[in-house]
Amino acid sequence: MTDEVRVFRHRIVRLSSCSRRESERATVRELLGEAFGRDVNLLHDPCGRPSVEGFPHFISISHSRDEAVLAVSGSRPVGVDVETWREALVSTAGKWLTPAQLEHMHEPLDYLKAWTAKEAIYKLMPEQPPGLMEVALPYLGEPSPYEVHWLGDADSLLAMANDKADALRWRIM
Supply φ then ψ for residue 97, to 5 degrees. Answer: -115, 140
pTM equals 0.92
Give residue 1's pLDDT.
47
Domain that holds residue 41: 3-172
Structure confidence at residue 88 (pLDDT): 96
The pLDDT score that the predictor gives to residue 109 is: 95
pLDDT the model gives residue 170: 94
**Total structural domains in the chain?**
1
Quick one: pLDDT at residue 117?
A: 98
User: Is 77 within 8 Å of 58 (Cβ atoms)?
Assistant: yes
Average pLDDT of adjacent 10-residue blocks, the chain of 173 residues: 86 84 91 93 90 94 95 95 96 97 97 97 88 94 96 93 92 93
Give residues with Cβ within 8 angstroms of 127, minimum separation 6.
none
* Lateral strand order in the sheet of 146-152: 79-84, 156-163, 146-152
